[in-house]
Amino acid sequence: MNGFNEWRVTPSNTAKNTYNPIRAIVDGMKLTPNPEKAMIPLSIGDPTTFGNLPPPQIAVDSIIEGVQSKIFNGYAPSAGYKESREAVAQYLTKNGSRTKAEDVFLVSGCSSAIEHAISVLLDPGDNILIPRPGFSLYRTLCISQGMQVKSYNCLPERMWEVDLSHLESLIDERTKAIVVVNPSNPCGSNFTADHVRDIIEVAKKNKLPIIADEIYAGMTFKPLEFTSCCSQSEDVPILTCGGISKIFLVPGWRLGWVVMHDRKNIFGEEFRRGLMSLTQRTLGACTIVQSILPKLLENADNEYMDKAVGLIQSNAEIAFSRMSNMRGLKPVTPQAAFYMMVGISLRNFPKFKNEVEFTEAMVSEQSVFCLPASCFDYPGFFRIVLTVPEEKLKEACDRMEEFCNANYVP
């Protein structure tokens, strides 16, 4: 053995091809706030940023109990503790979808659930259909592994409903699933039961499973109601991805789930074993956080959720009514989650070439940062986050109004 003369330590193609469009766009922006005004970030999709939305007390108490009991320090089974999987199954059954514990696989956050769903369904060269505007992780995960994504349009004039004929036109022989994100990040939309059924109909006709990203399940503004994909499907197999990050306002706790709904046994047992094998790659999710699921999910419908969602809804109403009256802006009514998309009439703001320059200038003039929706593959819009304290939101609206008035050209 002569050994080698050179180290061979270049990053893998997967690493080199892993690309987060939000970072790529935001890192390229000139973000210099106006020194006279304190920065108000309406850009960060983390509800803990301002400290006004604490997690439920039961979550905090049960974490402490879990640590003190010292019984959750070892490895759990890689798909999760039986009791914790059972708790998720019961919780989803309450949402109308008859789930059993063995259908639930606990993972590190919904991001990891999405990764598992993609890994179990796709080989390199295969593709999935994803919403536009949409959450960028799907593209990031697929492209880095040699898989493709095709974007189907969601229509602002129809509350971001899916353009079903466009969706169907994208299907080819390498298409392995339709991704449905409902409620939506970045749109803040919530599909009606009828619309959910229409999407399922397209999946059924084309014999495609659905990946249902329902991380915002239940965060729907009154009097609207959330409809899960699996509650509406008799035969289309569905992988539901969810978790506690958003509904319990603890994104840092990293606990999510991917759940098989397969009433007609189309995925089958081999597929279930495949999903099980994938959970063995990481030896499962954090045991302490798993341990709180029974208590936390049993209390999921209580006042706590109503209060948190109520606060976000009230912000949504304020932001929508204020921005509807600003020159050159056209917000789309938010219905759920904690986002609102706002269209910019760019021809009335000739100083700015696109939504990136527009949002950059809003930072330098008014110290308000909204995310350009090119981050979500949707130029001409920006996205705001609605979890800000009300006073800050109102202040941000005042400044945005000033910004529009200063730059608008009829």
Ligand X SMILES: *Cc1c(COP(=O)(O)O)cnc(C)c1O
Residue 161's closest CA among 127, 197, 128, 125? 197
Whole-number minimum distance, CB 339 to ligand X, in Å?
Answer: 8
Q: Residue 354 CB: number of other CB atoms within 10 A?
A: 14
Query: Least CB distance from residue 110 to ligand X, whole Å?
Result: 3
Q: Say if CB 153 and CB 132 are below 8 A apart.
A: yes
Point out which residues pair with 212 in neighbouring strands. 180, 240
Name, in order, each residue with C-beta under 8 angstroms of 196's C-beta and a sequence gap of 6 or more: 180, 182, 227, 228, 229, 232
User: Closer to ligand X at the Cβ: 243 or 331?
Assistant: 243
What span, in angstroms and rounded, lies between the C-alpha atoms of 381 and 331?
9
Asked if 371 and 135 touch (Cβ cutoff 8 Å), the reply is no
The least distance separating ligand X from the CB of residue 255, rounded to whole angstroms, comes to: 7
Count CB atoms within 10 A of the CB of residue 370.
24
Q: Are strands 381-385 and 371-372 parallel, antiparallel or unpaired?
A: antiparallel
DSSP element (H, E) containing 226: none
Nearer to ligand X, 140 or 359 (CB): 140
For ligand X, the closer of residues 215 and 341 by Cβ is: 215
Residue number, 46 or 395, with CB nearest to ligand X = 46
CB of 61 to ligand X, least distance (A): 22
Least distance (Å) from ligand X to the CB of residue 195?
Answer: 17
Quote the tokens at residue 370. Answer: 């909204």
Phi then psi for residue 110, to 5 deg, are -65, -30
Specify the residue for token string 């800000």: 388
Q: For the CA atoms of the chain, what is the radius of gyration?
A: 22
Note the residues at the interface with ligand X (CB under 6 A). 109-111, 135, 181, 185, 213, 215, 243, 245-246, 251, 256
**Nearer Cβ to ligand X (159/385):** 385
Of the candidates 178, 147, 152, the residue with the CA atom closest to the CA atom of residue 165: 152
Question: C-beta of 214: minimal distance to ligand X in Å?
Answer: 9
| Count of positions (residues) in the chain | 410
- At its nearest, how many Å lie between ligand X and the CB of residue 346? 26
The dihedral through the CA atoms of 242, 246, 247, 252 has a sign that is positive
Closest separation between CB of residue 285 and ligand X, Å?
Answer: 11
Complex with ligand X: residue 243 or 343, whichever CB lies closer: 243
User: Which residue has its beta carbon closest to ligand X?
Assistant: 109
Provide the minimum distance between the beta carbon of 256 and ligand X in the complex, in angstroms, as a whole number.
Answer: 5
In the bound state with ligand X, the residue whose beta carbon lies nearer, of 153 and 182, is 182
Contact 148, 172 (CB under 8 A): no
The smaller minimum CB distance to ligand X, of residues 116 and 246, is found at: 246
Give the shortest CB-106-to-ligand X separation in angstroms.
12
What is the b/e burial string over 372-405, where b = at least 16 CB atoms within 10 angstroms of the residue's CB? bbbbbbbebbbbbbbbbeeebbebbbebbbebbe
